[in-house]
Structure 1
Amino acid sequence: MGGLSLWHWLIVLVIVVLVFGTKRLGSVGKDLGEAVKGFKKGMRDEDDKPSAQLRDERGNERESSESKQDERTPR
């Protein structure tokens, strides 16, 4: 027993092609590739959003601390 050799995988591939056909397998491969690309794009978009939010929050914090300093300064 043990792992499958190259010949086993080739036989499995031939059987899969005979059962599903090359056209359907091509469509499945294309759909899978588009799904992976969409997932990667979504992960990149998620990574960009928090950094932009942090910049906004930092900017707001600076403004609020500046306004507090103005209030403390005697006029």
Structure 2
Amino acid sequence: MTGRFGELLLILLIILVLFGAGKLPRVMGEIGRGIKAFKNSLNNKSEDDNEDNKN
């Protein structure tokens, strides 16, 4: 478990260096919105599949 935490910390440090502290909140917000949209599209697809199976 310690290895995974170290890897995550390293990735976050690289992101901080690449984007800087000023842009980081905006970048993380955009990533969060992207993940949310992806999950919503998966849920909508599964609902469409369920409706097709009922017909």
For normalisation by structure 1, the TM-score amounts to 0.49
Runs of 4+ in 1 over 6 A off after TM superposition: none
Where structure 1 has 5 or more consecutive residues not aligned to the other structure, the ranges are 57-75
How far apart, CA to CA, are the structure 2 residues paired with 1:20 and 1:49? Answer: 39
- What residue number does 2:31 align with? 32
Residue-by-residue CA offset, 1:19-69 (whole Å, 9 max, x unaligned) = 63322111110000100000001001001101101112xxxxxxxxxxxxx
Do the aligned partners of residues 50 and 20 (structure 1) sit closer, same or farther apart at CA in structure 2, a change above 3 Å counting?
A: closer
Which structure has the bigger radius of gyration?
1
**By percentage of residues, which structure has more helix?**
2
For normalisation by structure 2, the TM-score amounts to 0.64
Where structure 2 has 5 or more consecutive residues not aligned to the other structure, the ranges are none
Number of residues paired by the alignment?
Answer: 46
Q: Give the RMSD, CA atoms, in angstroms.
A: 2.6
How far apart, CA to CA, are the structure 2 residues paired with 1:20 and 1:52? Answer: 43
How far apart, CA to CA, are the structure 2 residues paired with 1:28 and 1:22? Answer: 10
Higher RCO (CA-CA < 8 Å; seq separation 6+): 2
